[in-house]
Amino acid sequence: MQTSLPSSSNVKSEMKEHCDHRTDCLKMIQLIVDGEATEQQLDKLRANLESCKPCIEMYHLEKEVKELLAKRIEKRCCPEQLVATIKSKILTFS
Ligand SMILES: [Zn+2]
């Protein structure tokens, strides 16, 4: 059953369901997520993402994973620092 709005189905018809340059896209997505992409690479990927559905999804996934990892590292760091601080305090007492 077709439930999508006319505007989104219009976009869908222009979108590619399969990426024929996935390796290149993935490489660039990773560069962008890492913040290492050049302006040229950003422009190229932006142009690709407008018509490339799997790459948009890949981009959002990579970004989410990156953010999740960053959060996990933060969470891990804090208790360790706390433990180190507590240990050093215990050592000065004993
Ligand atoms: Zn692509």
The predicted pLDDT at position 78 comes to: 63
For ligand 1, the distance from its centroid to the CA atom of residue 18, given in whole angstroms, is 8
- pLDDT value of position 39: 93
CA 38 – ligand 1 centroid, Å: 18
Q: What is the pTM of this model?
A: 0.56
Going by pLDDT thresholds of 50, 70 and 90, the confidence category of residue 36 is very high
Can you give the residue ranges of every domain in the chain? 11-93
Burial 53-69 (b: 16+ CB within 10 A, else e): bebbebbeebeeeeeee
Question: How far is the centre of ligand 1, averaged over its atoms, from the C-alpha of 65 (Å)?
Answer: 19
